[in-house]
Structure 1
Amino acid sequence: MAERRTPSGQGPARRAGGRPTPPRTRNTGPIRVPAARRTSSGSGGAAAKRTEAPRPRALTGRATVLIALVVALALAYTYPVRVYLKQEAEIAEMERAQAVQRAEIAETAKTLEKWNDPEYLRIQARERIFYVRPGETPLLVVDDKDRAARTAAEQTPAAAPDRWYDTLWSSVQAANAEPQD
């Protein structure tokens, strides 16, 4: 029998004992040997059986255990990872709130520094409570056009002024009507 070579050109693989390993074959069913090849000592019509090699299973026991272990570890780590991510989000939110508070503190410190300046105090006193220095004349301008329009609409129109001689005559009559003491 001629030895088959592998596609790489090397001879057949050998075991440690020096014997070649038997080729693996798949069981495809019984093989019928033609009548010309049958030996005379055989029973005549019996079919020769091929040898069966163990067929590898799709999933071995070790692989099943390994997959179960990986799934169990993944499930065991999901809760702590979720808690960790939630805490990281809370920390980030607190840092943002802290930055906002620091900005407000800085703004308040600037305002306090302004109020420590005496000139700023004088300006605020003039604007807010209409403070005037001795010798100054206060002048307050009220610019309220809406209120002036409402007040004008609510007031009754004034009567036309009397002529000067009517006013004179009415004063003469009023003086004549006064009782003499």
Structure 2
Amino acid sequence: MSGNRDRFSTATRLRQLGERTAAHVYRSQSRRQVRRSRLTGRAALLVLVLCTLVVALAYPMRQYVSQRSEIAEQQQEADRARQRLEELRDEKARWQDPAYVEQQAREHLHYVRPGETGYTVVDPEEAEERRRAETGEADRPWYSNVWDGVDKADRPDDN
């Protein structure tokens, strides 16, 4: 009976309850640790996969973006070329018109029709600069030009 008594005594029951509780707590902690380690391993694997994807896709994405910008630039250049082509076609059509050709010849080449008198107005300052460039006075020191002017003023005119 003493074995039965021992079995039902409060101290024995408390000890058994404590052992069972400790075992239960230990098992639940080990399960949590296993879960945590699994989650940590899973999380690490997920992070590793994501990093690998980012690294693997970074270069192709950069290439894609740069190629898209190059394509946009090429399209803009093609648009500019089309616009220039249209301008040149318009200019070619204008040059096919005899009245336009005559107007350009009169304006730029100073052509006149038979029986007309052409006049050219010359800017005096521009004419003087051109004369100095032809005679080389522009390269000489200023005082040489002054003395030459004095010498010319002293000479009698050869009229």
Using the size of structure 1 for normalisation, the TM-score is: 0.55
CA drift at 1:131 = 1.3
Question: Which 5+ residue runs of structure 1 have no aligned equivalent?
Answer: 1-38, 162-181
Instruction: State the aligned residue count.
Output: 124
SS at match of 1:105: helix
Tell me the residue number matched to 2:44.
64
Tell me the residue number matched to 1:127.
107
CA drift at 1:67 = 2.4
Amino acid in structure 2 at the alignment position of 1:72: T
Tell me the residue number matched to 1:36.
none
CA deviation vs aligned residue, 1:82-136 (integer Å, no higher than 9, x gap): 1111110110111111111112112111211111111111111112222111111
Which protein is bigger by CA-based radius of gyration? 1
SS at match of 1:57: helix
Tell me the residue number matched to 1:8.
none
CA drift at 1:44 = 9.7
Structure 2 Cα separation of the partners of residues 125 and 57 of structure 1: 93
Structure 1 Cα separation of the partners of residues 10 and 105 of structure 2: 134
Structure 2 Cα separation of the partners of residues 85 and 44 of structure 1: 72
Give the fraction of aligned pairs with identical amino acids, expressed as a percent: 33
SS at match of 1:140: coil
Structure 2 Cα separation of the partners of residues 157 and 150 of structure 1: 22
Change in 2 beyond 3 A, CA 1:112/1:76: same
Question: Which 5+ residue runs of structure 2 have no aligned equivalent?
Answer: 1-8, 133-144
Change in 2 beyond 3 A, CA 1:42/1:105: same
Tell me the residue number matched to 1:114.
94
Instruction: Determine whether 1:101 maps to 2:81.
Output: yes
CA drift at 1:62 = 2.9
CA drift at 1:47 = 9.6
Tell me the residue number matched to 1:10.
none
- Considering fraction of residues, name the structure with more helix: 2
CA drift at 1:61 = 2.9
Mapping of residues 15-94 of structure 1, within 5 Å: 39=9, 42=12, 48-49=18-19, 50=22, 51-52=24-25, 53=28, 54-55=31-32, 56-57=35-36, 59-94=39-74
SS at match of 1:48: helix
Using the size of structure 2 for normalisation, the TM-score is: 0.61
Amino acid in structure 2 at the alignment position of 1:57: R
Amino acid in structure 2 at the alignment position of 1:102: R
